[in-house]
Structure 1
Amino acid sequence: MKKSLLMLILLLHFLCGEAQKKVSFFSIPDTTTPSHVWILTGTTAALYGASLAALNTAWYKGYPRSSFHFFNDMGEWNQMDKAGHIFSAYFIGKYSREMWRWSGLPRKKQIWIGGLTGFAFQSVVEVLDGFSSEWGFSWGDMGANAIGSGMLVSQELLWNEQRIQLKFSSHPDLYNDPVLRAKTDQLFGESFWERTLKNYNGQTYWLSVNVYSFRKESRLPKWLNIAVGYGADNMLGGRDNTWTDQHGVDQDYSHLKRIRQFYLSPDVDFTKIYTRKKGVKVLFQVLNMIKFPAPTLELNSSGQVKLHALYF
């Protein structure tokens, strides 16, 4: 094992040395650079493994395994989980595609390899769900994964840029009611990161459209986006707000009406802000997955119209 690892390190070192003779290590090559392809392949595999290990700890911990089975969850969580699948497949594919620019492979190969990475990763997660007693393999989830990857790949092939981006925002839910607090702790976890990942009540998913990309003859700022968001609230279970707590007591919170929320808000496309610094460009790419806090108009399924001075 140690000898194999040493040989791999030596091979990568040799390939990197050969690449630097031909092209600057940090530049985007015009032709396929084998050393870059090897490094990206190894990096992708390592990130896959680390991400799946982290997900296994954060998501599946405490739930028993079972034989592989299917599960129809299309009616759960006001479809917020499906929005999460679309976003995750898009987000993983987007940054994988950016990484594969460095390979020098032909443009279409970069797009397909990078763009389908999100779908491949999410498919593995779905198989893990199939072996969990709490969930199951969902064709609805797989469809959502395909939509996310399709959004990424189709825009790259058509425009060679992402004019319509998927973004995410989240805010904590705080309940003074001890029963609600206990239930949400059990469902969504207690830490900030667990609640960010699991709490559908606090999440909003956005379609953020870069206006200038569609009207390049206009004088609009290149960074200005208009975003449409979707969220939900008052969900204490997949399908309803009734449950039996850990003491065997039946809890009925049906009076909390489960609602859908729709948002309209200005946004910022950080990648359209000019800079020569590569580190800042990378930072802008990361920031672009998050919806910029801004004044927001909300319309929800209860018929309420709200204006938020600042919403995230």
Structure 2
Amino acid sequence: MFAQNVNDSTFRYNSENEQLENPKIKWEILAPVGIGIGAINYSMYKYYQRAWWGEERTKFHTFNDWNNADMNIDKIGHLYGGMVLTKLSYKLYRLSNVSEGWSMFLSSFTSLSFQMQIEFHDAYFKKWGWSWWDVGANVAGAVYPNLQKMWTPLQAVNLKYSYHPSQAYKDGWFDYWIKDYHGFTYWLTLDVNSILPNAADKFWPDWLNIAFGYGVEKVKLGKNIYNSAGNPLGEREWYIAFDYDLVKLFNPKSEWLRELLETLNIIHFPAPAIRFSPSAIYYGLYF
């Protein structure tokens, strides 16, 4: 049960990870990892430069973009992006035999480095600016995966992502995929077995989770993106769906396959879903 996990769990970093032996770092792996991270960072920078940073520049400034025209789905994107960067870079550091503690620190640092350079660039563009909401989401995303390692009950709650090209994107409203917020859905997933009584565990597959989804429609279509009251004109969409834990579903024996499935677990794969707001729609499979 979840309550029992809370009582039994100590910070795993202090219990398990102190037993690690300080293995020799595999520089033949770490060096390419560092070069690869740098190359990915450069590629992301150039992509953002084309997609976002073609606007008028100005001096460094802040702005409050809470409840913006994107209806805050971009904030969830910052949170999710931070989590993904931390998870992936952690695996790469561990593959290089960097110690558990340093891998946790460096993975969060790497994630924040990726994200914060974008914030600094935004701060010099008139249309954007330094957003403390974005920064907060970046920090939360960068540290949450490592908090999950330290306090195991947090592993029951995760954030996933799914995407399908929206009609607005197909119609040419957005010139870059990353701007197609209509096609994004973010999913807060819950490990159901973690909250069930022990007697009920056998009735619910341990690989089947519940997910609560959030998406948007009709944002940034046309020149008028706010109403007379200053609220965004788009629609918020809310979903509930099944979700899969791929590691528990396939129970892989090989370590490399386990690592692959753990990585793929950042994605919400097609599953039965119900959109319950702004209107009810049932989907046999929703992605």
**Scaled by the length of structure 2, what TM-score is found?**
0.77
Q: Which amino acid aligns with 1:57?
A: K
1:77-107 Cα distance to aligned partner (Å, 9 max, x none): 1001101000000111112223333355554
1:298 alignment counterpart: 275
1:222-233 mapped onto 2 (5 Å cutoff): 222-233=206-217
Distance (Å, rounded) in 1 between the aligned partners of 2:247 and 2:60: 42
Q: Secondary structure at the match of 1:261?
A: strand
CA drift of 1:116 comes to 4.0
1:201 alignment counterpart: 182
1:87 alignment counterpart: 80
Q: Please say if 1:68 is aligned against 2:44.
A: no
Question: RCO greater where, 1 or 2, for CA within 8 Å and sep 6 or more?
Answer: 2
Q: Please say if 1:46 is aligned against 2:35.
A: yes
Conserved? CA contact 2:23–2:99, under 8 Å: no
Q: Which amino acid aligns with 1:56?
A: Y
2:22 corresponds, among 9, 14, 32, to: 32
Q: Secondary structure at the match of 1:162?
A: helix
Conserved? CA contact 1:31–1:104, under 8 Å: no
Same amino acid, percent of matched pairs: 29
1:219-239 Cα distance to aligned partner (Å, 9 max, x none): 232321111111111002699
Q: Which amino acid aligns with 1:154?
A: L
Distance (Å, rounded) in 1 between the aligned partners of 2:90 and 2:20: 16
Q: Please say if 1:164 is aligned against 2:157.
A: yes
1:231-250 mapped onto 2 (5 Å cutoff): 231-236=215-220, 240-241=224-225
Q: Which amino acid aligns with 1:163?
A: A
Conserved? CA contact 1:111–1:157, under 8 Å: no
Conserved? CA contact 2:189–2:211, under 8 Å: yes
1:180-203 Cα distance to aligned partner (Å, 9 max, x none): 935x1xxx31xxxx32x2211110
1:308 alignment counterpart: 283
2:239 corresponds, among 263, 266, 271, to: 263
Distance (Å, rounded) in 2 between the aligned partners of 1:100 and 1:153: 13
CA drift of 1:289 comes to 1.4
Distance (Å, rounded) in 1 between the aligned partners of 2:125 and 2:36: 23
Distance (Å, rounded) in 2 between the aligned partners of 1:306 and 1:51: 39
**Scaled by the length of structure 1, what TM-score is found?**
0.71
Q: Please say if 1:132 is aligned against 2:116.
A: no
Distance (Å, rounded) in 1 between the aligned partners of 2:100 and 2:237: 39
How many equivalent residue pairs? 256
1:201-257 Cα distance to aligned partner (Å, 9 max, x none): 110011112223455942232321111111111002699437xxxxxxxxxxxxx95
2:229 alignment counterpart: none
Q: Which runs of 5+ in 2 are unaligned?
A: 1-18, 227-231
Q: Which amino acid aligns with 2:267?
A: I
Q: Which runs of 5+ in 1 are unaligned?
A: 1-28, 243-255
Q: Which amino acid aligns with 1:146?
A: V
1:97-125 Cα distance to aligned partner (Å, 9 max, x none): 23333355554443233234322321122
Distance (Å, rounded) in 1 between the aligned partners of 2:110 and 2:116: 10
Q: Secondary structure at the match of 2:267?
A: coil
* Cα RMSD for the two superposed structures: 3.0
Conserved? CA contact 1:90–1:152, under 8 Å: yes
1:56-76 Cα distance to aligned partner (Å, 9 max, x none): 332222605544332322231
